[in-house]
């Protein structure tokens, strides 16, 4: 008789984190050098400024199998390019509400401001975001099925 396994494979979400070079990436660096942990399934993409993230990058991330996308930038007023993160804030508010309308839950996307001195905040934000996305489960919207088959 064949044994039936009831073991459920634990879901590990794919998280894409766009981090601006001047604050958030340095915050991630500080988290690392301070030995504050955050999940290894957070894939950081360094960008010069949060406003460099074209909405198409977020759509592409979901298409390529991301379960959650987070953007991190300098605090409002601290952007290295003066107003970059104001553009990000407005642009992403619109994009995320559009994605929510398309069935990608709003908790799968997030914008956070993390300065270079906030390693602990970076770690806490990433842990919380991964926990939230893990509870939501796998993202099936917008995903290119050929990407999932290749897994
Ligand atoms: Fe960090 Fe613009 S340089 S958000």
CA of 25 to the centre of ligand 1 (A): 10
User: What is the per-residue pLDDT across 19-33, written as a single tens digit (0 to 9) for each?
Assistant: 999 999 999 999 999
| Cα 57 to ligand 1 centre (Å) | 17
Each residue's pLDDT tens digit, 100-130: 999 999 999 999 999 999 999 999 999 999 9
d(CA 34, CA 26): 12
State residue 147 phi and psi, 5-degree precision.
-70, -45
> Looking at residues 121-149, what average pLDDT do you find?
91
Has residue 147 got a pLDDT over 80?
no
CA distances from 18 to 8, 46, 78, 113, 146 (A): 31, 6, 17, 12, 24
Å from CA of 85 to ligand 1 middle: 6
Best residue for ligand 1 mutational test, from 17, 28, 50, 70 (most atoms within 8 Å of Cβ):
50
Assigned token pair, 77: 């007023």
Number of Cβ atoms within 10 Å of the Cβ of 7: 5
**pTM of this structure:** 0.91
């Amino acid at each position: 008789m064949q044994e039936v396994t009831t073991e459920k494979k634990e879901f590990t979400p794919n998280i894409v984190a766009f981090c601006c070079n001047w604050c958030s990436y340095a915050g991630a660096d500080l988290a690392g050098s301070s030995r504050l942990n955050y999940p290894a399934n957070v894939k950081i993409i360094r960008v010069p400024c949060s406003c460099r993230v074209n909405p198409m990058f977020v759509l592409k991330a979901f298409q390529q199998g991301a379960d959650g996308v987070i953007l991190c930038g300098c605090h409002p007023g601290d952007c290295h390019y003066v107003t970059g993160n104001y553009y990000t804030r407005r642009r992403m508010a619109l994009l995320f509400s559009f994605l929510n309308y398309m069935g990608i839950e709003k908790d799968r996307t997030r914008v956070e401001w993390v300065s270079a001195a906030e390693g602990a905040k970076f770690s806490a934000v990433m842990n919380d975001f991964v926990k939230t996305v893990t509870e939501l489960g796998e993202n099936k919207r917008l995903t290119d099925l050929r990407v999932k088959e290749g897994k």
